[in-house]
Amino acid sequence: MMNLSQNILGIEFTNPTVLASGIWGVTASGWKCVAKNGAGAITTKSLWNKEHCGHPNPTIISNEHWSINAVGIPDAGPEKAKTEVASYMADRPAPLLANIVSDSKEGFGEIAQVVAELKPDAIEVNISCPNVEDELGKPFACSVTDAAGVTEEVKKHTGDIPVFVKLSPNVNNIGEIAKSVVGAGADGITAINTVGPGMAIDLKSRKPILSNRVGGVSGRAIKPVAIRCVADCYKAVGPDVPIIGTGGIYTGEDALEIMMAGASLVGVGTAIWERGEEVFKKICDEMSEWCDENGVKDLSEIIGSIHK
């Protein structure tokens, strides 16, 4: 079986699969369970610099093609983050990316400082959630200036911990945003966050199903968008900036496709609901099988291959 391990930004990944933020396991015990099921790395739920309630139920609706969520990024605040991250890092079975979020540039700096003291392997900066626009306004990821400003603020507080900035597909030119955050100091990119927001309507009540009316769209339907966005980011920032490609990844072939677009690592989220916690191992097995059948000896032959 092919060796899928990689060293990215000095972090050793046994395989390229990464648990996407906020999908499955929001505590240290949950993250460890996902790691035992084969994930190459774990991304935490979004951690705030203050307590944040999120949206009331119903917050998620799914079918075989897509999922719409308006969870609203709930979080108990920094003290809870300290407990869970410290517990996981004490004997971490896989690298941990601590995802952070805030409603202000200064707030991002505050939570970055708190999290950096816990020494996660990397920090992921969520500037792109589309299901809190009614509360917080347009995401920072929709502006070149705002995206760069948040990145600069976070980098002031993170020392030598690598920083990935999570971008939105809901922009005219994601490549421009990618260049702006890398220029401001980002070490890597995560592409993409959910698409939308989208809406689903209940025919009997003739009203939107979600209490928030709209939510971010994920699942199989957004894979083509994610692949295009990763390709655009790779073209904009070059091969030396690692990209976590996420959005609609369900199989090993999906993972290879987004890696050919330019991703070094592959985020997996909604697929867990369909394929179970073992989806990470399944994806890795499917990747290895394809590579063996097609004479691929190293992932470097795959990553960004459409650009070569």
Which residues, listed in sequence order, are joined to residue 122 by a DSSP beta bridge?
Answer: 97
Q: Is the pLDDT of residue 32 over 60?
A: yes
DSSP for 148-189, written as a single string = HHHHHHHHTT-TTS-EEEEEPSSSS-HHHHHHHHHHTT-SEE
Phi, psi of 89 (to 5 degrees): -70, -20
Q: What is the pLDDT of residue 71?
A: 86
Burial 15-50 (b: 16+ CB within 10 A, else e): bbbbbbbbbbbbebebbbbbbebbbbbbbbbbbbbe
CATH of the domain at 147: 3.20.20.70
Q: Which pLDDT band holds residue 50 (cuts at 50, 70, 90)?
A: confident
Q: Which of 66, 23, 3, 13 has its CA nearest to residue 279?
A: 23
- Both tokens of 282, joined, read 């399944």
Q: For the segment 222-257, what is each residue's pLDDT rounded down to a tens digit? A: 999 999 999 999 999 999 999 999 999 999 999 999
Q: Model pTM?
A: 0.95
- Both tokens of 270, joined, read 């909604």
- Structural domain including 143 reads 6-307
Whole-number Cα distances in Å, 206 to 57, 66, 211, 283: 18, 21, 13, 39
Q: What is the pLDDT of residue 54?
A: 79
Whether 1 is in a domain gets the answer no
CA dihedral 69, 70, 72, 74 (to 10 degrees): -50
Mean pLDDT across the stretch 36-59?
89
Burial 157-166 (b: 16+ CB within 10 A, else e): bbeebbbbbb
Q: Is the pLDDT of residue 134 over 60?
A: no
Q: What is the pLDDT of residue 22?
A: 79
Average pLDDT over the chain, rounded to an integer: 92
- Both tokens of 64, joined, read 């075989």
d(CA 50, CA 87): 20
Q: What is the pLDDT of residue 23?
A: 72
| Total of domains in the chain | 1
Question: Strand pairing of 265-268 and 17-19?
Answer: parallel
| Least confident among 56-70, 135-149, 180-194 | 135-149
Q: What is the pLDDT of residue 53?
A: 76
Residues annotated as catalytic (active site), given as ranges: 129
Q: Which pLDDT band holds residue 78 (cuts at 50, 70, 90)?
A: confident
Q: For the segment 173-228, what is each residue's pLDDT rounded down to a tens digit? A: 999 999 999 999 999 999 999 998 999 999 999 999 999 999 999 999 999 999 99
- Both tokens of 74, joined, read 């709930």
d(CA 27, CA 188): 25
Q: Which pLDDT band holds residue 281 (cuts at 50, 70, 90)?
A: very high
d(CA 58, CA 70): 8
Whether 298 is in a domain gets the answer yes
Mean pLDDT across the stretch 260-267?
98
Whether 200 is in a domain gets the answer yes
- Both tokens of 178, joined, read 């990618």
Q: What is the pLDDT of residue 55?
A: 86
Q: Is the pLDDT of residue 25 over 70?
A: no
Whether 188 is in a domain gets the answer yes
